[in-house]
Amino acid sequence: MKKSARQIRREAQLRQKRIRSITFAVVVIGVLGLAGYYLKSAFFRPPPPPLAGNVIDIAASMSGFDKTEIRVKVGQPVTIRLTSLDNSAHTDGGGKHQWAVDELGLNLIAQPESSNTLTFTPTKAGTYDFYCDICCGGRANPTMNGTLIVEG
């Protein structure tokens, strides 16, 4: 049976329609896959790398550091984990806190209600001041100061 011109045109149209819907499906699957990938990486973060050496937790809030004296040893790696207990609604410093030791070139800043870490190995015994210069009073605030003692 010979196909009429009309039938041939109709079949061509159908074929084109099918190609279009397949292309659409491929694009949709691609977009969903990409979105899924990003969602997955947003929700399932890989665990943070293990912290080197001895970990010292320091919490900071507007009322100061929870530790005013920290003892570490020469040659032993130490990780300071600074946690800001304040939220970003704080007008002064925006809830951030710092843990800095000028003499050792250490400067750690924790974002509001977050922790941040810094690993270092003390090389020289001594007594050093640590401070936060972000929130109210900054360095001059006695509660935002402490002593880092490096024992030989």
Contacting positions for Cu ion (CB under 5 A): 97, 132, 135, 144
What secondary structure does DSSP assign to 87-103, as a single string? -TT-TTGGG-EEEEEGG
CB of 135 to Cu ion, least distance (A): 3
> Smaller CB distance to Cu ion: residue 100 or 132?
132
Rounded CA gap, 27 and 145, in Å?
Answer: 57
Least Å distance between CB 44 and Cu ion? 33
- Please answer whether residues 105 and 143 qualify as being in contact, where contact means their C-beta atoms are separated by less than 8 angstroms: no
- Pair 16, 8: CB distance under 8 Å: no
Nearest approach in angstroms of CB 78 to Cu ion is 21
- Taking the complex as a whole, the smallest distance from the CB of residue 51 to Cu ion amounts, in Å, to 22
> Where are any strands of DSSP class E within the chain?
54-61, 64-65, 69-73, 78-84, 97-101, 106-110, 115-120, 126-131, 145-151
100/135 with CB nearer Cu ion: 135
For residues 126 and 74, give the distance between their C-alpha atoms in angstroms, rounded to a whole number.
9
When the beta carbons of 79 and 83 are compared against Cu ion, the nearer one is 83
Chain residue at closest Cβ approach to Cu ion: 132
The CB-of-54 to Cu ion minimum distance in angstroms stands at 23
Residue 77 or 115: the one with the smaller Cβ distance to Cu ion is 115
Cβ proximity to Cu ion, 81 vs 97, nearer residue: 97
| Token code pair at residue 110 | 């924790």
Give Rg (Cα) of the chain.
30
